[in-house]
Each structure stands twice: as structure tokens, then as C-alpha cells.
Structure 1
Amino acid sequence: MTVRRGVLIGPLAVLLSGCLSGCAGEPPLRAAPLPVVSDTPAPTGAPIDPDILKKHDATIRHSDNLRPIAGVNNPPPFDTAAAIGTDLAFTGNHAIAGNYEGFTVYDVSAPERPVIVSQVYCPGPQNDVTVSGNLLFLSVDLPMGGASCDPGVSGRTWEGLRIFDITDKAAPKYVGAVATPCGSHTATLVSADARNVILYSSSAPSRLGGGAGAACERNKGRLTVVKVPVGDPARAAVAATPVVLDDGGTALPEPFGYGGCHDVTVFAAKKLAAASCIGDGLLLDVTDPYDPRVLDRVQDPEHFGYWHSAVFTRDGERVVFSDEFGAGRSVVCDPKTGPQLGGNGVYAIENGRLKLLGYFKIPRPQLAPKTCSAHNGSLVPARGKDMMVQGWYDGGVSVIDFTDPARAREIAYFQREKSPFDHGGSWAAYFYAGHIYSSDMIAGLDVLKLTGVPLDPALPGEFNPQTQR
């Protein structure tokens, strides 16, 4: 493991000049990365030509009410096409961005001037991030050489959750790991107290192959419950593997084969969870987190090809499920595909049952993406409204008003044109402490400002988008 420290921000005089890159059609300011000296081997592939990123930024379009106010490109060694940006988590004045090659800690106390506090090189797809107190968890869903970040370990036999102590944000420390059956594609913080952190690890078992095939077969239809002692995280262990799909899940076309759970969102106040299980959407009672109980299970082949993630409304009376049709390898939110597949379904929760109320897809006719479908998002705390922000890969970032589910509509957007690579665009877009943060798979971190929407006050705290309190 190598930690890199550095500030990626230009001189203050430059930042305060002009219109701060927020004028329509202009890209956000991006400072040149600081040089990094490291004895750790860099990721495979040559660094991306900075001119390619500049040209890509020059294609930015956005609505008048969603202004880009800052952007930070990935510095070495996360500056290759193989270093794919993934999910985000937040703690206090810090945003933490996962990457296929590790993770980056940003100081966002001044959102218009993000500062890189540290980088950790620790390859492990997807490296989705979850934070609890001073602990950070990285989800690794393909067999790696070992539990630690040591690139010299031979063989590919380990996958699961890696654990870091981030008490000192400038110097995260690897403190342990726990192997999980079929690996950890995503992880959800279910509960945490002074003694223990409880996580749900989802394995997305459509990723069969290699030495993990048998473990994935045995783990079909299960969640993995991981218990982490706060005082001794090295003793983290699998505490239970409850079945939530007794038939293993709804079968899907190849290459997916069968279902399983991709992601879980917990609504803590009501002890509910929405599990997006590739071929199925589940509503769970998680009163006993070690033994979740299925309240309802729905399939909707008209609208859903790959149940991916979910967002509850603030009162927990509704839930939005998202369809990552084709597992992010297809283009379904372009106009020629039509209004079905690859979007969001808004469901009412009535007596423990799910009822479809409406469906939404981004409407922009100018889209010409390489990859485009609904992906990760979170609520926007709009007064008197149900709103969310969401990443759509090459479809960019969309702010959606679904107060009337049958007439859900986009009220703001931010988008680059199609990626110059096989992948790109917004992996995740979340509202945190007054701003929207987007993790672009290639371009890095984007910070956006939403205006014209009455918002409830939002102070820095701890925010894992898959854990709603």
C-alpha cells in the first residue's frame, strides 16, 4: 500500500477570476496534478493524455440551475484508463472516492476548491467505499493476490472486504480484511455502535469464473453479513449468510445466467431495506440484521433488466429502484431505445408490499452515449418535494423530481459527450452538505451547485448513500 499526499487546486487568484467555470458551456477548472514519486508499480496502461481530458471537458453541457463549480482529475497513478472511478462516501468535511486501483480522500470543506488529502494505491475491483467512524471498507469482487494491498503476493485466491483506519485522513492505514463468499461487489452499513459495525456484503454472482465459481454457486440468493469489532477490526468475520432468494434469484439471459443481490439500501428508521437483486426487487425487514425477512419480491421485465440500486423517500413511504440494464455495458437511455428499460421505477410501500407508481428515464434527445443506463444516486433534501440526483454513465448527472411518480421529470442535468474510452461518465452522483458530488469514471471528481430549489439545511456528517437514517 502506498499513500500519496497532495493538493490539486490552482492558485486562489485564478479560481476567483472570470465566472469560475460555471458559465454555460464552460468546463470546471481543473488543476494540474502534483508529481508523485512512488516505489509501488503503477497500474497497467499508459497515462491518459491531458489534452484528451481537456477536449472531453470542453464538451460539457449543463442546465442553468446545475453549475459545475470545481473538478479534479485523477493524479498518477490513477491517471490511466484502467483506473476507473467508482463510488463515493462522505465523513465530515471529506469525500472518499473509490477507484479500481485504490481510493482517494478529498477535503471538501470548501467545495469550490477540493483538496486531495491522500491517495491509497490498492488494486481491487470495484473498490466501492463504505465509511463508519474511523473505519473505511473497500469492496473487492474479483479474486486478488491477497487480502493486503501488497502487489508482490502471488496467486489470485482472495476477495472480500478490506479495512482501513482513516483517523488520520492524510495517512490511512490498512488494518485488516475479511474474505466473503464470491467476493464483495458492494457493501452496505446496516448498523454501527461503539462496539461493532454490521455490514451487508453483496456478491453480484453474475461475475462467475476462475477460482470463485464454486463459491458464487453456493452463495446464490444469499447476503453476507459481516461483523467488525470497532476496537479490533482485524477480527472482522462473516457472521451469517442469510437466504433472501430461496430459488437463487430470477434467471437472466447470458452472460448473467441467474440472479442474486447487487446492492442493498437500508432505511434505518423503519428497519427496512430495499435489495436490488439483478432479476428481482426485494423489500426486507431488517429488524434482525443477521436474519433479514423478505416482505415482498417483484419482477418487472417490461421496465427492468438488471435491478441495480434503490433510494427511499425521506418518510420511507416510497422507494425508487434503478435498472442498470446490461450491467452498464449497454446503451438504453438514448431516445431510439424508447421509454422502457434502463431507468427508475417509483414504488409505494403499502402494508409491506411494493406497488409501481411511475417510471422515469432521462429525456435528453442530444444523447449519443457509449454506455448509458441508470446508476447510483441519492435524495436531494428539497422542501416539500421528492427529488433525487443520479449518475447515468455517459448520460451524465440528472436531478429528478418524482413528487408525482406518474409524472417524474428531470429538472437539472450535467453531461459530457460520450467518453473517448470504452467506459466513462458519472458512476455515482450524490447530494452532500449543500452540493452535488459526481464520480466520473475517467474525468475524476466533479462538484456541482444546484440552484432554484428550496433545500433543507445540510451539515457535514457521515453519509453512505446506501444507508438512509
Structure 2
Amino acid sequence: MAAVLTVALVPAGAAVAESDADPRQGLAPGNNPTDGGAAFTSPDRSAGTASLGMDLLAERDKPAYTGVAAAFNYSNINSDLAFQGDYAFSGNYRGFGVYDVSDPAAPVLRTTVECVGGQGDVSVHGDLLFMSVESTSARVDCSTSTAQAVFRGVRIFDISDPLAPRYVAGVQTCRGSHTHTVVTQPGVTDTVWVYNSGTAGIRSAAQLAGCSPTSTTDPATSAYSIDVIEVPLADPAAARVTSSPRLFATETQPIAGLTPSGVQATLPADDPRASAPGNRAGGQRVAATSACHDITAYPAIALAAGACQGDGILLDITDAANPKRVADVSDPNFAYWHSATFNDAGTKVVFTDEWGGGVGARCRPTDPTNWGANAIFDVVRDEAGTPSLVWRSYYKIPNVQSSIETCVAHNGNLVPVPGRDVMVQSWYEGGASIVDFTDSANPKEIGFFDRGPYDPTVFHQGGYWSVYWFNGNVYGNEIFLGFDSWALTPTEDLSAAEIAAARAATVGELNAQLQEPIVHAPSFTLVRATYDQAVRAGALDAEEAADVQRFVDRAEGFAARNKTSARATLNAVAGELTAPGQEALAAELRRLAGSL
């Protein structure tokens, strides 16, 4: 494991003097040979690293798939992650691996499932695992034999025994499956839906009946839609496409009404983004909208956010089987809308822009700070409750990566820090970043991990495809090197109590594209996290802070032997907190008292 340099933070996009240079700039490269990479059994991890608030616990090689020896073989790419219980499911273009993460500091690869297809994005729900397949080399029987029929779509595996996954069925689609989203509906326990996003070329009708070429006027076209797959949980082999809704239709263009091909975006003078720091005049060349790349569903608020190539959209998923677009937005600085994350309250969405498609260096000092970045939108509802998306800001890691490092915004999810909107996110070879977007107009980086380039001179696509929080730790799928885990550590922007409170908010399974409300049970840890936030915000002066801390400690001492005294102490101190900025702490003190 390479040594980690822990350093002070430089704000994203800020100019720095040489003596204050961001520690991610100029990290030592690795020593991979230039002939295609080291043998798979020993991928090189000798590049230098830098971090703030992220302690690298473990690095594990990716699974060894049959017939693929080289670490830098582009048919052997790690992709997305899903989690359930003690296991992390690591997608790959050649199948998926199952890691035991019961000890995050010592993950163990328990089994490997070989099933070639790319991208290999995975999701889990109960006893089922879903896997996206779009490659024309994929076969119905998971082999590589050209004697077998082509498979492109969503595969379904039985993971009732996570260490012995069993192939159940596959649902063929006209554009394959680049990504997919498992969608639940509150109150429905016998069915889930999979929103399938295909971005590849359309298959011929001879290969799959019903497929029709791209056309903005043909009602039968297989473009300009997603696939809704219905999965009966008692009989997953009966899963089928039930509809292909035209999410991009407008009154004037009933098939393809959103961003057309190759639009060069402009910035009106009165658009607040025109004066945003780091803007480049003229905007991006925006991708045509014929599909969604990623859709993130949040059933508890009956909304999904679609990152759809040239547009960001909101879907009403009250009826999960029939999603309907209720809002859309374009952005002049976005080339390719890639993924989306709601905050827990459902009042904000962070969209990512995969400028360059994830195959180019886009975080160099010469690159705009608002291209290949996140855009943060507030979800604003009118009097009728109809939502719209209102832009507030951009966020990007500092542009200090080299010209031989793939870097652009990619996949992440929320870190359940109580009272704050915090997410961890991958940036390919830009590493991982932790950003606080509680103030959607002023996001702030509060932690990071970065590794230097693979090689001193040779450009490779690579880095972290996905970096996610799950049950107390952060895990990343590194495209070529493998599977990594981290623990968060305290900084001036994230306290030990906040990390402990986040660790206590556990779930049974996690798909980043299916969000569920975060639940924080009342506890002394949660009170201390909220106290730390009040102190950081200046809501308590030194004397008040000392008094609150003393009485909380006293109440905790009472709690085990005299709950009445503990409740009285907590309620008493809450009653003293009446100044602006003290409301959240008072509320948590009362909530804890009520739980004792």
C-alpha cells in the first residue's frame, strides 16, 4: 500500500501559490510498463497518494477473469457497485465479483461470476441481482461462443446464496442496457420495476423483433425512450418489458422534443451561470437527447432524476410502472448529463457532467472549472406542488490533474451526516472527493483521496468508476486496479461525532440509483454531532458550549441508571437553547429525552 500524505485543504478552483499547491498536483506516477500493463496478478499500485479525511484501509485486486491477463485490458474494466448485508457486488465488463466486507479493513473476494457483456453495472434487490449488458459480444449463455445468440439487455441472477449466484433470466432490449435502475413503489411488495437506459446502436428487427431505427418522426422508433421492465418477485424469469415511455416528448415534438444533435450552447447575459467563476464563453457542445444515461429513483418522494445526455429531467414515479416527465432543464456548461443524486430531503439534485465520455483528461489547470463538473439544482415546487429545477451552483475538484489522467465527474452517493447534505463521489483518476452541498449555492469540498497516474508518460483511461458510502465506510471500484475501502477521519469540517452518527445510519442493501430516506435514531452520538455543528456555525459561545457539553455528559451518565434524571437534564438544557441557530440542537436533545 502506498504511503498517504494527509494535508490541509485548498478550496476547489482556487488559485494557489507554489508553496500552497494542492497536494494532488504532481503526485508521483506508478511504474506500469508501456506495453499494455503489468500481469493481472500484480497490478502496480506504486503511484503516490494524497488524502484529507479519508484513510485508505485496503486495496484488493479485481477478480481474475478467464482469458484476460493484462491489468490494462479494456475488456476487463471494473464498473459499478451494489451492496447487501456483508457483501459488495463489483461489476465488471466480464461479470461481477462478490467481496465480503464484514471487515472493511480486510475485504475478501469470495466468488467471481463470469458473464461477458459490458458495462456490467449491477443492482440488488432481495434475492435478485440485475446486470446491464450492451456489448454485441455478449451471448445468451454468458459464454463467448459465436455459435450462441447475442444477448443485450438486463440479466437477472438469484443471489439467495450470495456466494453461489445463479443465472435466472435475461430481458432483451433494442439498445441493450448501458445502465439500469431498480425502482420500488411504496406499498407494493410483490413487484419491482427496472428502468433500463440503452445508449448503444439499435439492433435490427431480424435480431430482435420490434426494434426500429432512430427517427424523430417514426412512432415505432426504438430511440427517445427508456424501457420499463416489470419483475414479479415470485417469478423473476417472467420479467418483461411492459412499456417504453417517450420521456423526451413535447407538444410540438411528440417523440424527440428535448435537446437535438450537436447543439452549441449559449449563455444569455442575464443567466447567472454567465458570470459564474471559471465559465468559458459559448458554453459546451451538448449531446443529443435520445436516451437517459442514469436515472436515480427516490420512491419515498415519488420522484426520479434522469441524467439524459443533453438534459436533466424529473420524473413522477407515483405509479412506478408509468413514469412521467414533470420537469426538464438544460445547462450551457454541460456536455453529457451522466448521473444524479438527490439530497435526503428531496429538495436538491446534484447532476454530473461526463464531459469527454470518461476517456479524456478534463481536470487540467487549463480546463474550465464548470465543465466536467457537478451542477447543483434546487427542486422548487409551485403552489400546485409541481416541481421545477433551479440552478444554484457548480462543483468540481481542483483542476490540478495531469494531461495523462482521465478525470471528470462520475458516480457517487450520500454520506448520511445528520443535518447536512454530504456526498462522496468518484472522479476517475481524479480520485474521490467528499463535498458538502448543504448550501446549494456554495458547495465545499471537505475531504478527498487521490492517486497519481498509472505511468510516468502513457495515458490510460482508468481510475475510480464508482465511490460509495455503505454502512460506515467508503468503497471504490477502480477500473484497472481493483476494489478499495476507506474510513472517514475527522477534519475541521467533519467531526468524529458526525462520522459516528453517519456510521450508525445503516441499511440492509444499497443501490446508489435507488435512494431511500436516511434514518437517524435518537442517541447521544447524534446529539453530539448536532452540537459540533452548532459550535462550528458559531451558534454557541464558549460558555454555552461548555455548559451544553457538561450537561449532555451528565445526562449520559444518568441514562443507564436513572432515565428520569437523564430526561430532565436533556429537556432542561434544551430549554436554554432559544437563540437563532440553536434550534436543531434543542430539537435533538428533546428527541433523545423522549426516547429514553
Q: Which has the higher helix share?
A: 2
- 1:358-400 Cα offsets, whole Å, 9 max, x none, are 1111015254443211010001111222111111111111111
Residue range with higher mean Cα deviation, 136-145 or 182-191: 136-145
Change (3 A) 1:157 1:366: closer
Does 1:413 pair with 2:448?
A: yes
Partner of 1:224: 227
Does 1:93 pair with 2:86?
A: yes
Partner of 1:444: 482
1:423 is aligned with what amino acid?
Answer: Q
Where does the alignment leave 5 or more consecutive residues of structure 1 unmatched? 1-19, 26-44
Alpha-carbon distance in structure 2 between the residues aligned to 1:70 and 1:432: 15
Change (3 A) 1:313 1:116: same
Q: Which TM-score applies when normalising by structure 1?
A: 0.85
- 2:259 counterpart (232, 250, 262): 250
Partner of 2:325: 294
Q: In structure 1, the residue corresponding to 2:310 is in which secondary structure?
A: coil
Answer yes or no: is the 8 Å Cα contact 2:202–2:213 preserved in 1: no
Partner of 2:302: 271
Give 1:60-459 correspondences, 5 Å limit.
60-77=48-65, 80=70, 81=73, 82-154=75-147, 157-191=150-184, 194-205=189-200, 207=201, 214=212, 218-246=221-249, 247-248=255-256, 249-253=258-262, 258-301=289-332, 303-351=333-381, 352-420=387-455, 422-452=460-490, 453=494, 454-455=498-499, 456=502, 457-459=504-506
Answer yes or no: is the 8 Å Cα contact 1:344–1:361 preserved in 2: yes
Alpha-carbon distance in structure 2 between the residues aligned to 1:23 and 1:361: 22
Q: In structure 2, the residue corresponding to 1:468 is in which secondary structure?
A: coil
Change (3 A) 1:241 1:268: same
Alpha-carbon distance in structure 2 between the residues aligned to 1:370 and 1:239: 42
Answer yes or no: is the 8 Å Cα contact 1:252–1:259 preserved in 2: no
Residue range with higher mean Cα deviation, 77-86 or 307-316: 77-86
1:197 is aligned with what amino acid?
Answer: V
Alpha-carbon distance in structure 1 between the residues aligned to 2:299 and 2:445: 28
2:144 is aligned with what amino acid?
Answer: P
Question: What is the Cα deviation at residue 219 of structure 1?
Answer: 2.4
Change (3 A) 1:296 1:422: same
Question: What is the Cα deviation at residue 155 of structure 1?
Answer: 6.1
Question: What is the Cα deviation at residue 328 of structure 1?
Answer: 1.2
Aligned pairs, number = 427
Change (3 A) 1:271 1:79: farther
Alpha-carbon distance in structure 2 between the residues aligned to 1:428 and 1:197: 24
Q: In structure 1, the residue corresponding to 2:43 is in which secondary structure?
A: helix
Q: Which TM-score applies when normalising by structure 2?
A: 0.68
Alpha-carbon distance in structure 2 between the residues aligned to 1:121 and 1:195: 29
Q: In structure 2, the residue corresponding to 1:234 is in which secondary structure?
A: helix
Alpha-carbon distance in structure 1 between the residues aligned to 2:36 and 2:168: 31
Q: In structure 1, the residue corresponding to 2:361 is in which secondary structure?
A: coil
Question: What is the Cα deviation at residue 174 of structure 1?
Answer: 0.6
2:512 is aligned with what amino acid?
Answer: P
Alpha-carbon distance in structure 2 between the residues aligned to 1:432 and 1:381: 9
- 1:374-432 Cα offsets, whole Å, 9 max, x none, are 01000111122211111111111111111222221221111122244631100010000
Question: What is the Cα deviation at residue 124 of structure 1?
Answer: 0.4
- 1:103-162 Cα offsets, whole Å, 9 max, x none, are 000110000010111101110010100101010011012334532213335366431011
Residue range with higher mean Cα deviation, 101-110 or 247-256: 247-256
Q: In structure 1, the residue corresponding to 2:154 is in which secondary structure?
A: strand
Q: Which has the higher strand share?
A: 1
Change (3 A) 1:209 1:230: closer
1:229 is aligned with what amino acid?
Answer: P
- 1:75-96 Cα offsets, whole Å, 9 max, x none, are 4226532310000000011000
Partner of 1:49: 39
Alpha-carbon distance in structure 1 between the residues aligned to 2:41 and 2:128: 37
2:260 is aligned with what amino acid?
Answer: A
Answer yes or no: is the 8 Å Cα contact 2:299–2:318 preserved in 1: no
Answer yes or no: is the 8 Å Cα contact 1:333–1:343 preserved in 2: no
Q: Percent identity?
A: 37
2:259 is aligned with what amino acid?
Answer: T
Answer yes or no: is the 8 Å Cα contact 1:145–1:154 preserved in 2: no
Q: In structure 1, the residue corresponding to 2:480 is in which secondary structure?
A: coil
Give 1:8-27 correspondences, 5 Å limit.
23-24=4-5
- 1:174-221 Cα offsets, whole Å, 9 max, x none, are 11111122111111011165422211001124x568879945652222
Partner of 1:8: none
Residue range with higher mean Cα deviation, 396-405 or 105-114: 396-405
Alpha-carbon distance in structure 2 between the residues aligned to 1:272 and 1:371: 32
Q: In structure 1, the residue corresponding to 2:296 is in which secondary structure?
A: strand
Alpha-carbon distance in structure 2 between the residues aligned to 1:23 and 1:155: 48
Q: In structure 1, the residue corresponding to 2:194 is in which secondary structure?
A: strand
Answer yes or no: is the 8 Å Cα contact 1:397–1:415 preserved in 2: yes
Change (3 A) 1:177 1:251: same
